[in-house]
Amino acid sequence: MTAAIIGGTGLTSLPGLEITHREVVHTPYGEPSGPITHGVLHGKEIMFLARHGYGHTIPPHRVNYRANIWALKHLGVERVLAVAAVGGITEEMSPGRIAFPDQIIDYTWSRQHTFFDVDLTHVTHVDFSYPYDAQLRAKVVEAAKRAGVDAVNGGTYGATQGPRLETAAEIKRMRNDGCDIVGMTGMPEAVLARELNIAYATCAVVANWAAGVTAEEISMEEIGLNLEVGMQRVRDILGELVPLL
């Protein structure tokens, strides 16, 4: 089964990937964030795409999620593991930790969020009760166990519009809504994968405490340091995951 990794903040390239070639894909929805990278990781063929571009130049609200997902589908991808930096809202989601969310609440607005608005001869509603693919999630959870990474299995990802960080009051509201972590890219990426029948799961790396969780303001330096720790854990997990795919 062909698999791809979408890297986010802190993962603009895939360490250890022996790159074979890069492929430019033009889509009916415009250009993806960059060419799709093909390569071999731990003996398996895999594709990689940097969500914000390989130079991290595309902010979360301007990512062409439809083009990215369509391009991967076009190349035969059936499974996507999304890596995403997040803020931690609830106690166990401490900076540096890894989490595999099992639910999403979407707070984004005005993004191109569906493939089903072109053919207006019929209406399509996809089931999205469980936004992440159960089988792929189980494999990622198992991979983390094998890698000895103490990860949180579950949690609700609140997707905000960005690019600004949230206010303390917004995070308070999100906590009351049931969110455990907050990021800016989880939607519409997850639903677009579902619409194209791609199994999708997220490996979230907690980069900081979300706004107002501690008395301190959020610093980019802190985020960078925590992401370095977290991304090493992601590499360890991928080392165990890829042979399971």
Q: Does 51 bind ligand LNRAV4D5 (CB under 6 A)?
A: yes
- Shortest Cβ distance from residue 165 to ligand HPA (Å)? 5
User: Minimum distance between the CB of residue 214 and ligand LNRAV4D5, rounded to whole angstroms?
Assistant: 16
Other Cβ atoms within 10 Å of 217 Cβ, number: 10
How many other β-carbons are positioned within 10 Å of the β-carbon of residue 232?
14
Cβ–Cβ < 8 Å for 41, 84 = no
Q: What does the block give as tokens for 217?
A: 């303001």
Q: Nearer to ligand HPA by C-beta: 29 or 209?
A: 209
Question: Is there a binding annotation on residue 185?
Answer: yes
* Candidate ranges 26-34, 149-157, 180-188, 236-244; the one touching ligand LNRAV4D5 (CB under 6 A): 180-188
Query: Whole-angstrom Cα distance, residue 79 to residue 1?
Result: 7
**How far apart are alpha carbons 82 and 88 in whole angstroms?**
17
DSSP H helical ranges for the chain = 65-74, 134-147, 168-177, 186-195, 220-244
Instruction: Print the binding letters for residues 142-171 with ligand LNRAV4D5: x by CB under 6 A, - otherwise.
Output: --------------------x---------
Establish if 223 lies at the interface with ligand LNRAV4D5 (CB under 6 A): yes
**Distance, CA of 194 to CA of 84 (rounded, Å):** 18
Binding positions for phosphate: 9, 51-52, 185
Footprint of ligand HPA (CB under 6 A): 85-87, 160, 165-166, 182-184, 207-208, 210
Footprint of ligand LNRAV4D5 (CB under 6 A): 8-9, 51-52, 60, 84-85, 162, 183-185, 223
